[in-house]
A and B are shown apart, each in its own frame.
Chain A
Amino acid sequence: MSLKEELKSERVSHLDLSRFCQIVSGTAVRQSLANMRQNKTNVCLITKENALIGILTERDVLTKVATNPANLNRTVDDIMTANPITVTPDTSAADALWLMDEKQFRNLPVVDRDGKIKGNMTHQAVISFLAARYPVEVLNRPPRPDHFPHKQEGG
């Protein structure tokens, strides 16, 4: 079974979506970063009147803020990526992944038809899916790779 077939029958809502923090438009970058740290997330979704209008990721922080600390005092709107492409929870997981790769996205916010943000899809969701789909091959491995057994044990 190929990865495409594996993921076709899954909806995005069936995956383990990543954490994100939600921030309202107009918040200072410094505050947004503090919220991301507090929530232990790498992605911040910016909303205006509860509608998603932008996304700020750790990559933006590296490229736009780390090199230019003055940006800490601007609003998150100034450095976010505006109007990110989103998918609905019932989108097939395969379609979502192919879209991410085609557009070179590392994050894909999941928003339902009422505009409510349900989560953020990353490649981690696919990794977790495969790990749980093939536990014998992926999960059931010793703590140190060099200890991998090559034959059965038994009394």
Chain B
Amino acid sequence: MSIPITLNRKDFVSDQTVRWCPGCGDYAILASVQKTLPDIGVPKENIVFISGIGCSSRFPYYMNTYGIHSIHGRAPTLATGLAIANPELSVWVVTGDGDGLSIGGNHLIHAIRRNINLNILLFNNRIYGLTKGQYSPTSRTGTKTKSSPMGSLEQPLNPIALAMAAEATFIARSIDAHTQHLNETLMAASQHKGISFVEIYQNCVIFNPNEWIGLDDRRVRDENILYLEHGKPMIFGKDMDKGIRLNGFRPAVVQLGNGITEDDLLVHDETSTQLAFILASMEFPEFPAPMGVIRRVEKQTYTDGLMNQIETARQIKGNGNLRTLYESADLWTVTAKDQNGVASKQTGQLSLEVDEEYVDELDKEPEVTTAMQDRLIEDTIAALSPKAPITIDVSASLAKAVRQMNTHRIGCLVVTDAHDKLVGIFTEKDVLHRVVGLVEDLETAVIADYMTPDPIALKANLPIAQALHEMHMHGFRHIPLVDDEHRPEGIISFRDVVHHLKERFA
């Protein structure tokens, strides 16, 4: 009998300090993964993250799950072994365009080809970030980098087409900046049995910050992304006024209207190999970037096949014996020779010289380009003039809580313990979803049982961007502010944030 699993995002946040550059797209992907995992229906102890080497490969440290930061390019290999040894596990491989497609290209292809039950997340930023900005296997021809000052001469690899060539049973694409789409894509990948290959366009803000222009800007992205839905015609555009039609063997963008209707458009079919190849070939900006589930088919996984073979062998030959197997091979004895160590010519000392140019680069202030970006980063939460919180003791009754909210005409109470420390938050949403018509006697019910315990709280000296982050990622409408002792000192709502940004420019 299985016990229902109730996990939340915090269960997946590790105590490690996250070390990526300020503004790195990896943060958004991490937040999405931590948001999605509680809902995939797998106990935490059955989840493993395996990475290779690179910026994205630091991922396992930041997930409070089992994890292996493995060898360059070899994450799929370790993951293959693990997934076969324990089919109960939900195994996630985190790799990048360098680690996955160059150093570990072969390992990736063969893990996909074997239909191992893995979720492979390939963060594609089209640059080597950890080594400070050399062109990668997905960099566009002509890309000028530190290792290609006159422009790369190489044809980039197409990760989706590569996964198709290896007959991946699940292929999807998403982008770091589109939280909701990324969450849905991760969920779909987790539910697929067999290999799930997800390419995630990811922004390297330091070495390749303009790579996804047109796709990661909220104002224009819906004009340039083709959101795929199985069985639905391929319509796109902010006003859903364009579509994809097949002219002979070539896909073409057409404007709807003037005799062109939905009936003329391609209809997405996740099971069509041919269509998946067409979608893989559609590169932005010539075409809208296809995103979502490109291919999803059911096939026997490697593990299931292997287990069947073992079972069949057992039926035919009976249980094996390790010693018999060992001794059935040719055996010989290796004898020790006189061994003299070879002296190293190197001193083994690390260079202590500092690369001045690199240090200068580190000290540079991040570039801020618009007034809105200034406000998001430079204005602190204190600038919102947060209201004083209305607090209530954790032992108070629901009746008192409701009275207080109505007296003060507010939608949110901050719950404190005997030491005046923040222990919970209780909102009008809780009144609707957990109390009214559900609780018989509000006088005897205690707020502690109905509040959200241990809510995310912020300090007033953080930038407004942090408040927006929490509100967007988690749908919070109120965030309590606390002092160094975790005592509530203010409360902000999503309306306060919008209002501030609105009035700053009035």
Is B299 interfacial (CB 8 A cutoff)? no
**Docked complex Cα distance between A136 and B20 (Å):** 12
Contact yes or no, B428 A144, CB < 8 A: no
Contact yes or no, B437 A143, CB < 8 A: no
Stretch at the interface among B243-251, B301-309, B491-499: B491-499
CB neighbors of A among B228-272 (8 A) = 238-239
Q: Tell me the nearest residue of chain A to B15, going by C-beta.
A: A144
What residues of chain B lie closer than 8 Å to A1, measured between beta carbons?
370-372
Contact yes or no, A61 B432, CB < 8 A: yes
Q: Tell me the nearest residue of chain A to B32, going by C-beta.
A: A139
Q: Jot down 12 A-B pairs with beta carbons below 8 A, ordered by A.
A: A59-B411, A124-B471, A124-B475, A138-B465, A139-B25, A139-B28, A141-B466, A143-B31, A149-B19, A151-B362, A153-B55, A154-B206
| A137 → B minimal CB distance (Å) | 5
Contact yes or no, B177 A139, CB < 8 A: yes
| B301 → A minimal CB distance (Å) | 32
Q: Tell me the nearest residue of chain B to A122, going by C-beta.
A: B494
Contact yes or no, B431 A147, CB < 8 A: no
**Docked complex Cα distance between A69 and B398 (Å):** 14
Q: Tell me the nearest residue of chain A to B240, going by C-beta.
A: A13
**Docked complex Cα distance between A98 and B505 (Å):** 13
Using a CB–CB cutoff of 8 Å, the interface residues on chain B facing chain A are 13, 17-28, 30-31, 34, 55, 62, 129-132, 176-180, 203, 205-206, 209, 216-219, 221-222, 238-239, 358, 361-363, 370-373, 376-377, 402-403, 405-406, 411, 428-429, 431-433, 435-437, 442, 458-459, 462-463, 465-466, 468-469, 471-473, 475, 477, 494-495, 497-499, 501-502, 504-505
**Docked complex Cα distance between A101 and B499 (Å):** 8
What residues of chain B lie closer than 8 Å to A140, measured between beta carbons?
22-28, 176, 203, 205
What residues of chain A lie closer than 8 Å to B406, measured between beta carbons?
62-63, 66-67
Contact yes or no, B22 A30, CB < 8 A: no
What residues of chain A lie closer than 8 Å to B19, measured between beta carbons?
149, 153
Contact yes or no, A16 B501, CB < 8 A: no
Interface string of A13-45 (1 = CB under 8 A from B): 110100000000000001001101100101000
**Docked complex Cα distance between A65 and B438 (Å):** 12
Is A152 interfacial (CB 8 A cutoff)? yes
**Docked complex Cα distance between A40 and B475 (Å):** 12
**Docked complex Cα distance between A33 and B437 (Å):** 8
**Docked complex Cα distance between A13 and B238 (Å):** 9
Q: Which residue of the partner chain, among A62, A97, A136, contacts B405 with CB atoms under 8 Å? A: A62
Interface centre among B30, B221, B472, B477 (most CB of A within 10 A): B472
What residues of chain B lie closer than 8 Å to A4, measured between beta carbons?
502, 505
Q: Which residue of the partner chain, among B363, B431, B433, B458, contacts A66 with CB atoms under 8 Å? A: B431
**Docked complex Cα distance between A145 and B22 (Å):** 12
What residues of chain B lie closer than 8 Å to A144, measured between beta carbons?
13, 18
Q: How large is the interface on A (under 10, 10 to 19, 20 to 34, 35 or more residues)?
A: 35 or more
CB neighbors of B among A52-84 (8 A) = 58-59, 61-63, 65-67, 69, 72
Interface centre among A40, A97, A144, A150 (most CB of B within 10 A): A144
Contact yes or no, B132 A154, CB < 8 A: yes
Q: Tell me the nearest residue of chain A to B18, going by C-beta.
A: A142
Q: Which residue of the partner chain, among B132, B177, B411, B458, contacts A135 with CB atoms under 8 Å? A: B177
What residues of chain A lie closer than 8 Å to B34, measured between beta carbons?
143
Contact yes or no, A3 B132, CB < 8 A: no
Is A133 interfacial (CB 8 A cutoff)? yes
Is A85 interfacial (CB 8 A cutoff)? no
What residues of chain A lie closer than 8 Å to B459, measured between beta carbons?
145
Is A50 interfacial (CB 8 A cutoff)? no
Contact yes or no, B472 A152, CB < 8 A: no
Contact yes or no, B372 A6, CB < 8 A: yes
Q: Which residue of the partner chain, among B18, B27, B495, contacts A139 with CB atoms under 8 Å? A: B27
Contact yes or no, A137 B132, CB < 8 A: no
Contact yes or no, B437 A72, CB < 8 A: yes
**Docked complex Cα distance between A60 and B325 (Å):** 75
**Docked complex Cα distance between A144 and B466 (Å):** 10
Given contacts A132-B221, A139-B469, A154-B132, contact A16 B180 (CB under 8 A): yes
